[in-house]
Amino acid sequence: MHCVDEKGDVCPHYDGTDTRILIIKLGAIGDVIRTTPLLHKLKEVHPRARIFWLTLTPEVLPSAVDEKLDFSLKNIVALRSMHFDLLYNLDKDREACALADQISATTKKGFILKDGIISPTDASGEAKYLTGIFDDASKANTKTYPQEIFEICGFSFNGERYLLENQSTEGAGWNINKKKRVIGLNTGCGGRWTSRLWDDKNWIGLAKTLKRKGYEVVLLGGEQEHKKNLTFARATKAKYFGHFPLQQFIGLMNRCDLVVTSVTMAMHITIGLGKKIVLFNNIFNKNEFELYGLGTILEPELPCRCFYQPTCTNPQYRCMNHFPVKRVVEACEKLLPI
């Protein structure tokens, strides 16, 4: 230790660490964001810990993480030569579980690979493991995702919030009328999950109605939604600024007061920013979503028969066609009155 004063005493500003913790959560960006509440508890229980996090998207990790590691060969090689006091693997992907099995740690929680089979490390992970395999177990689940991961890690969930830091200063010149209440409409749901899509005419009707009622309406989406958002903007005169890199997109969403979205990355960004939310859900168990009192979950008037299916497989009807614009408008007005 070289940081000493003239008396030979250790520098009073030196803050050493006594615990080394690794979190493995590769997953989708939204899944990474909704795992960040765990950091509150880790900092509380282990205030002098050094926290490492391995992920595909380190750019969304907050400053509470000391070592933000992308899932690259150089980091995998380094981690395999290190020892951790605590290792939490909250992914059930084969590569994440294999790595959790290979890295040295005194205590491991979550999921590992045993003889090529993904398995929970102990009884605390069994319920989450079963919900990922059996639809009936997933449908019967009554716990939110934060509750589930806290219990896997040996903690109780007490409403700890997402940690999302918006560091983007780009887009400050966006022409958004902040004298009005601003509602963002996230019109997509990713290319894979088309069973969650709301019809184009409904988005157009929603944008027109909200504008008529005096709201500032901003269309949101990624590259896949670009063409249709251009069409929506022309049809409704809603604001559309294009699609952007992640941090700039977060910055744009931060200018909204409320966001209407299906279960997507944008949903978790909305919650992380503390914005009001109207959430569309059809194919998932709504109990898994923790909204922290920020909004409401709307489901179709006819029940969805395509639980966890990426495309609609119901030959009788498409449930998202039974989701009237009027209900969405009423939910927006209740959460964000003018």
DSSP secondary structure letters along 138-151: HHH--S-HHHHHHH
pLDDT tens column, 39-66: 999 999 999 999 999 999 999 999 999 9
Distance of CA 62 to the CA centre of its chain: 13
Phi and psi at 24, nearest 5°, equal: -110, 110
- What pLDDT is recorded for position 13? 55
pLDDT tens column, 56-94: 999 999 999 999 999 999 999 999 999 999 999 999 999
Closest alpha carbon to 58 in 275, 246, 250, 224 = 246
**pLDDT higher for 4 or 247?**
247
For CATH 3.40.50.2000, list the domain ranges present in the chain.
19-152, 182-335
- What pLDDT is recorded for position 142? 86
* 116-119 CB contacts, 8 Å cutoff, 24+ apart: 118/92, 118/94
Report the mean per-residue pLDDT for the chain: 92
Point out the least confidently predicted range of 25-39, 191-205, 254-268: 191-205
Return the CATH number of the domain spanning residue range 182-335.
Answer: 3.40.50.2000
Query: Are 319 and 198 in contact, with CB atoms under 8 Å apart?
Result: no
Partners of residue 21 on adjacent β-strands:
51, 86
Question: To which H or E segment does residue 207 belong?
Answer: helix 200-212
Average pLDDT over residues 284-312: 93
Question: To which H or E segment does residue 114 belong?
Answer: strand 104-114
Question: To which H or E segment does residue 94 belong?
Answer: helix 94-102
Average pLDDT over residues 19-28: 95
Residues in Cβ contact with 232 at an 8 Å cutoff, skipping those fewer than 6 apart? 185, 187, 200, 203, 204, 207, 219, 238, 240
| Band (127; pLDDT cuts 50, 70, 90) | confident
Query: Are 326 and 318 in contact, with CB atoms under 8 Å apart?
Result: no
How big is the chain, counted in residues? Answer: 338
Residues in Cβ contact with 41 at an 8 Å cutoff, skipping those fewer than 6 apart? 150, 153, 155, 160
The yes-or-no verdict on residue 316 having pLDDT over 60 is yes
Average pLDDT over residues 199-216: 97
- What pLDDT is recorded for position 4? 62
The yes-or-no verdict on residue 16 having pLDDT over 70 is no
Tell me the C-alpha distance between 270 and 291, whole Å: 10
Phi and psi at 8, nearest 5°, equal: 90, 5
Question: To which H or E segment does residue 32 belong?
Answer: helix 29-33
What Rg, from alpha-carbon coordinates, does the chain have? Answer: 22
Question: To which H or E segment does residue 65 belong?
Answer: none
- What pLDDT is recorded for position 76? 97
Tell me the C-alpha distance between 7 and 262, whole Å: 62
Q: Give the other-Cβ count within 10 Å of 226's Cβ.
A: 14
- What pLDDT is recorded for position 293? 97
| Band (310; pLDDT cuts 50, 70, 90) | confident
pLDDT tens column, 143-183: 999 999 999 999 999 999 999 987 666 656 789 998 999 99
* CATH topology (fold) of 19-152: Rossmann fold (3.40.50)
